[in-house]
Structure formats: C-alpha cells, structure tokens
A and B are shown apart, each in its own frame.
Chain A
C-alpha cells in the first residue's frame, strides 16, 4: 500500500512548536473576525465544516480509511439536536449533548459493521450505510421529510449566553471548533495516534508487532464519527434548521473534497479546505449546476496533480509538519 503523505516527519519538539504557533495564529485570526466586518454567518458555517473535515481527516489522513459516508454523522447529530431543542425544549448545551450522543451511538454501530472490510470496500460500505440512513430519515416522521426541522430556537447556553446574538453565537461556535480541533490534535500526537499512523503505513507489520489493528481502527472511527456529530450539532445553531441535504451523499463528497484540497493527513489542511470550498460555494452560487462541475474538476485536478493539497504543499516546501 502506498502512503498518502510521502514525507511524514516524525513528531519532534520543533514540529510540535511549529504546529502550536500556527494554531495560535489561526485562533487569533478567527477570534478577530467579528471586528473585521467579514460576514460572521459565513465563517461560522465554514468552522462547522472545518471541524467535520478535521474529524474526517482523522480517519483518512491518520488511519488510511476513506469514509464516504461522514454526512450520516453530521445529519444524525443535526436532526437529534434539532429535535431535542425544538420538541423537547432542552437548553443548547443539552441539545448538543443529545446530538453528539446520537452520533456516538451511530458510529459504534456503523464502525462495527464497516471496519470488517478494508480499502475500497470500506468506502463503499460507509457510503451505502449513509444512504440507508438517508432513506430512513426521508421516511421517519420526526425529521419532517423534505421540509426538514425548521425554526430551531437558539436559546441561552448555560442560561447566560444568548445565542440569538450573532457575536455570542460566533464565539460559542469558535470555542466548540477550537476544542474539537485541539482534541483531534491531541489524538494525532498521542501514542494511539502513532499506532494509527503505523496501521496506515503498513497494517500487516502493525499486526505482527502485536497491535490489534481492528480495535485501533474501530476507536478511530468512533472518535471521528462522534466529532463529526459535534460539528453537526453546532451547525444546527448556525443554520437553525436540519435537513436532508446534511445526510445526502453529496455532503459526504464535499467533506472529502475539502480535506483533499487542504491536504490529506495534514493538521490544518481540512480547515483551509473547508474555507476554500465554502467560499467557492458562496461566490459561485449563481452559477447553479456549474458548481457541481467545478467541484468535480477540482477533484480531478487535485487527484492528478495536487495530491498533497494546499497545506501539504506548503509543508513539503518548508520541510515542516503542519
């Protein structure tokens, strides 16, 4: 099996320092957004997708598992959070908890099924499972089918943070994104993450060294799915709806595209990719179906000539790990 990132540098103190520096710069830039006049809704949306892409990247970039069904976690958590907030009237923090718990449960079930096959079959299975869920949500009464769950109350988080105020909501979403990002960062640099990388590089050897690789892959899948669910729950507060588009395979494809553009197996790549793709959709919205064509072309170009992605190329040029 050929490797995804051709020059994985070992985790050295210097690499850690570089990555922390970039992280602090990114956090400061994002924290300054409300003062710059940039449309906060756009940035919040991009942050949710960035977290989703980072969660996806944990699986592909570090575990070598290409999930083509990550929309199912986004959509499931979104629907469950939306239902908890609107119908049960739960406060925001519990609404998020319900969504994340649902994604956690779903990732345990789907992980148990899909981890049984590797490589290309794994991708097809995750795609088929998410399509299965799509049809279930299409027919289930609580999702309101084609209409989706709309007009979700934003409420007061912890009783004090009024999420209907854009600035407050922005910082809550940003805090959620940074927390999720740091968790993924921690996972990647943990001994668990190192084992995961070794499975990606050479699974047979990892098995021969005594690692039960299936357990590691399963745990990575559950972590990735749960974090993707967290992104879905946050997105509910931004979009104030939960709809079928979030569970559709096109959404799973977009997450793959974001990560590919930013750089598979890079820490900051998925964030950059998410901003690029969301911005592109925003600016090209008037072109209708041509957006699909452009996305397809980006896929083709990335795979043929630009496999390292934006951040991967930069990291390669400077011989740094990013």
Chain B
C-alpha cells in the first residue's frame, strides 16, 4: 500500500504540472488563438532561472518562486511583441510553427551550454524532511507542490472568472473588436495574457526543479503530454483544464503502480478513447 500512495502522490505532482501548463495554454489560446509550442521550453527556463538565481545571485527558492515567473513572463511578452503579434489574422498553424521554432532555439541554446544531464536544485530548508501520516510517509516538499499548485490554479480561475479584469479578458476573447471600441487596450491585454500563461509555465518549472532536477529537455517531452491533456479536456474552460490536469496525473500515477509498462502511454491512450467517444473533448465545445 505504501507504494500505491507514493505513486498517487507522484501522480498528483505530475498532475499539478499538467494543470498549470494546460491552464496557461488555454488562457493563451483564448486570447491569441495560438497553441504555444514553446510552453515546455519556457517551463524549462523557469527552472533554469531559479537555478541561476540561487547559484549566481544567492537568491533563495522563495524569491525564485516570485521572480522566475516574472522574468520568464517578461521574456514571453518580448516574444509576443516582437514576433507573435505579427501572426494576427494568419492561419492558426503559423503560430504553432513559430512557437515550435522558438522552442527549438531556446532548448538548443540551453542544451549547448548545459548538455542533457540534470543540474541539482536543493529543496529549501523550510520544506525539507517529511511527515508520517500513518498510512504513508509524506515528503513535505512534495505535499507543498501539490497544495501550492492547487492554490495558484484556483487563483487563476478566480482572476479570470470572477474579477473585472477577467471579465475584460473573456470579453476580448469573444470579440476583440468590440472590446477595443469600448476603449480597452486589447493588444496590451494580449501581451499581458501571454505573459501570464508563460509565467504559470515558469512557476511550474521552479516547483519541479527540486524534484526532477534542472534539465534543458525537461519540457520537451512534457509539452506533448500536456497537448494530449488539452485535447482530452478541451480548451474551452479554465476549471476543466485544472480538473483534467490533476485527474490525468492521478490516473498516470495509478498506472505506474498497477501496470508500469503503460505509464508513459496511458495519457495518449486515454486521449484516443476520448476522441472516439466524445470528439470535442470532455469540456470542450464543438470547434
């Protein structure tokens, strides 16, 4: 049973990353109509920024948790201003191709300087050690990742669904021209939205650094799983992305325990099943 709970926890942690990443993808897709292929690379950058902050600037984990998403978010906004904005009005696929190119560049640069092996990132002192819950031993850091991700996801949901700013955002997603006519600076909102989505990815990167080490290709394979998560959940609903992300992480964790050979593929297999039964995705509207 210990092993089962351990895999469930791993599943929840992976689920947190799926949720944070697919949430960002959904927000970006809503505003920019772009599937951000660079999301995995920016997640990796988040982890590397945390690593640099610690090793070059002596800035600890807690500041990295705040600063890395801001730094990567600014990088993302520069990308949006200099490149992505020129794709407005073109076929969706150009956005995919452009961000794929950006992902190759970013990953290639990091691989060139850091190879393919992982760099260690220590768990902050306050979160070291573990708790005995009676039925399992819970490493505190892992519990923290799950709780904190959940809080961030829900905060993002609240921001978009319940606040004035979120209302503008949703309105601009539906009809940007009309929202502009009301005097709202939609291009700036688009830039900020991209920054927000990218920031969420970077945050996931910082969270994962102490668990999975910091590797140039850490986001490359992850992003493909997240695409499958997005196909399963659909990008129509914020809450849908969060729930699907966590649920698929848990299912993957359970698969690791019951049938480890399929743990790499279970998300893709589920995607196929969902497509066969409900092609629009679980929460998605007809595209």
Chain A interface residues toward B at CB < 8 A? 1-4, 60, 64, 66, 68, 113-114, 116-121, 123-125, 127-129, 131-132, 135-136, 138-139, 249, 253, 256, 260, 288-293, 295-300, 302-304, 307
Complex: A295 Cα to B92 Cα, angstroms: 21
Are A113 and B224 in contact (CB-based, < 8 A)? no
Contact A116 B275 (CB under 8 A): yes
Query: Chain B residues near A60 (CB, 8 Å)?
Result: 93
Given contacts A4-B91, A307-B94, 19 further A-B contacts (CB under 8 A): A113-B275, A123-B96, A128-B228, A128-B271, A129-B272, A131-B221, A132-B268, A132-B269, A132-B272, A135-B264, A135-B268, A253-B104, A291-B108, A292-B107, A295-B101, A296-B100, A296-B101, A299-B97, A307-B90
- Indicate whether B231 reaches chain A with its CB closer than 8 angstroms: yes
Q: Of A3, A123, A125, which contacts B271 at CB under 8 A?
A: A125
User: Contact check: which of B97, B265, B287 meets A260 at CB < 8 Å?
Assistant: B97
Interface string of B57-88 (1 = CB under 8 A from A): 00000000000000000000000000100110
Q: Are B112 and A289 in contact (CB under 8 A)?
A: yes
10 smallest A-B Cβ distances: which pairs?
A299-B101, A296-B104, A292-B108, A296-B105, A293-B108, A132-B268, A116-B279, A289-B112, A124-B227, A128-B228
The reply to whether B231 and A117 contact each other, CB–CB distance below 8 Å, is yes
A260–B280 Cα distance when bound, in Å, is 29
**Known pairs A117-B287, A128-B227, A129-B272; A2 contacts B90 (CB<8 A):** yes
- Can you report 12 A-B residue pairs in the complex whose CB atoms are below 8 A from each other? A2-B91, A66-B97, A116-B276, A120-B93, A124-B231, A135-B265, A139-B261, A289-B108, A289-B112, A292-B111, A293-B105, A304-B86
A128 to B273, CA, bound (A): 13
> Contact flags (1/0) for B250-280 with A, using CB distance below 8 Å?
0000000000010011001101100110011
A113 in contact with B276 given A124-B231, A132-B265 (CB within 8 Å): yes
Interface footprint category on B: 35 or more
- Which applies to chain B's interface (DSSP): helix, strand, loop or mixed? helix
Verify if B179 is at the interface (C-beta below 8 Å from A): no
Interface of A is mostly: helix
Residues of A within 8 A of B96 (CB): 66, 68, 120, 123
Q: Name, among A120, A127, A292, the residue most crowded by chain B CB atoms within 10 Å (CB to CB).
A: A120
Complex alpha-carbon distance, A131 and B267, angstroms: 11
Give Cα A298–Cα B91 distance, bound, in whole angstroms: 19
Q: How far is the CA of A120 from the CA of B104 in the complex (A)?
A: 19
Chain B residues numbered 15-53 whose CB sits less than 8 Å from any CB in chain A: 29, 35
Q: Please state if A2 and B89 are interface contacts (CB–CB under 8 Å).
A: yes
A300-B98 in contact given A121-B231, A131-B224 (Cβ < 8 Å)? yes
Asked if A120 and B92 sit within 8 Å, CB to CB, the answer is yes
Give chain A residues whose Cβ lies under 8 Å from the Cβ of B201.
none
CA distance A304 to B91 in the complex (A): 13
Measured CA separation A296–B102 after assembly (Å): 6
Q: Is the CB of B275 within 8 A of A117?
A: yes
Distance A135 CA – B279 CA, assembled complex (angstroms) = 24
CB distance from B100 to the nearest CB of A (A): 6
Contact of A113 among B29, B111, B272 (CB under 8 A): B272
CA distance A295 to B106 in the complex (A): 11
- Complex Cα distance, B271 from A64, in Å, reads 23
Cα separation A2 to B269 with both chains bound (whole Å): 33
B103 within 8 A of A: yes
Q: Is residue B109 within 8 Å, beta carbon to beta carbon, of the partner chain?
A: yes
B230 within 8 A of A: yes
Cα–Cα, bound, A66→B101 (Å): 15
Q: For residue B228, which residue of chain A has the nearest CB?
A: A128
- Give B38's nearest chain A residue, CB to CB: A296
Closest to B278 in A: A116
Assembly CA distance A292 to B102 (angstroms): 10
Q: Would you call B98 and A303 a contact (CB within 8 A)?
A: yes
Question: B98 CB to closest chain A CB, in angstroms?
Answer: 4
* CB nearest neighbor in A for B269: A132
Q: In the bound complex, do residue B112 and residue A127 qualify as a contact, i.e. CB atoms below 8 Å apart?
A: no
Q: Which residues of A contact B230 (CB under 8 A)?
A: 124
Chain B residues with CB below 8 A from A290, complex form: 108, 112
Given contacts A293-B112, A296-B104, A304-B86, contact A119 B97 (CB under 8 A): no
**In the complex, what distance in Å separates the CA atom of A234 from the CA atom of B151?**
53
Q: How far is the CA of A299 from the CA of B104 in the complex (A)?
A: 9
- How far is it, in angstroms, between the C-alpha of A138 and the C-alpha of B265 when the chains are bound? 11
- B276 nearest CB neighbor, chain A only: A113
Contacts A128-B224, A289-B112, A293-B112: A120 and B275 contacting too (C-beta < 8 A)? no
* Given A120-B92, A135-B265, A249-B224, A300:B105 Cβ within 8 A: yes
